[in-house]
Amino acid sequence: MAEQSSLFNDLELRDIRFSSSSPPILQMSDTALKEWKARIFRYQTQVNESAPTQQGSLFDLAQPSTDPASIDPFSLKQQNTEFWRDTFDEGIAALYFVIDQELPLLLYVGETSKSNQRWKGVHDCKDYLHNYVAAHRIHKLPVRVTISFWREAPADYHPRQQLEQALIQKWKPPFNRESRKHWGAPFRDAKPD
């Protein structure tokens, strides 16, 4: 099996491992972190197990379904969150999913009109992930964060956003703002929404 690429570059990893000036916003205990993840895992496992299986037709050439029940974030091709550094395509409309493969946990659902550009620059989820990974490193817990894209998303913004919201409501990923009431926001910087 090929080695999983790192979520962070070498400089970011060094900062996470050796910086005492920028620890996670809220340092969770080992037990609290494990329990927080276990609650989310139990919920998402129930969602996944209760998802209806759909029988496809050998001759069905219809457009991809935009039914949230037909999208399984865990079955999509996973890639490093630094994916955009190696791509030279123009990008397409897509939904994307940030997953910690260790349990696994769906951490974030997002939508974009340009899949090769969305993760560049500033993104709140990247800050949450930095704090999330740092908390795991402090407690020497395994963590393996990846990103995947569902490339059949509607090109038009409103249908794509509606699908994103339906998936957030279904999975309740903890890094999406809409899910904070369920899981809290232990990895979020203390800045207003």
Coil/strand/helix, residue 22: coil
pLDDT over 90 at 177, yes or no = yes
Say how many C-beta atoms besides its own lie within 10 A of residue 178's C-beta: 13
Angle subtended by helix axes 30-50 and 157-171, to nearest 10: 110
Most confident stretch, 27-31, 97-101, 109-113: 97-101
CA distance 141 to 162: 35
> Where in the chain are the domains?
25-49+73-178
Q: pLDDT category, 1, cuts 50, 70, 90?
A: very low
User: Per-residue pLDDT for 18 more than 50?
Assistant: no
Cα separation, 128 vs 115, in Å, equals 20
The model's pTM is 0.76
Q: What is the pLDDT of residue 102?
A: 94
Torsion angles phi and psi, residue 169, rounded to 5: -65, -35
Cα distances from 168 to residues 2, 22, 45, 90, in angstroms, run 31, 30, 15, 26
The residue ranking higher by pLDDT, 143 or 5, is 143
Tens-digit pLDDT profile for residues 147-176: 998 989 999 999 999 999 999 999 999 999
pLDDT of residue 81: 67
Report whether 56 contacts 173 (CB < 8 A): no
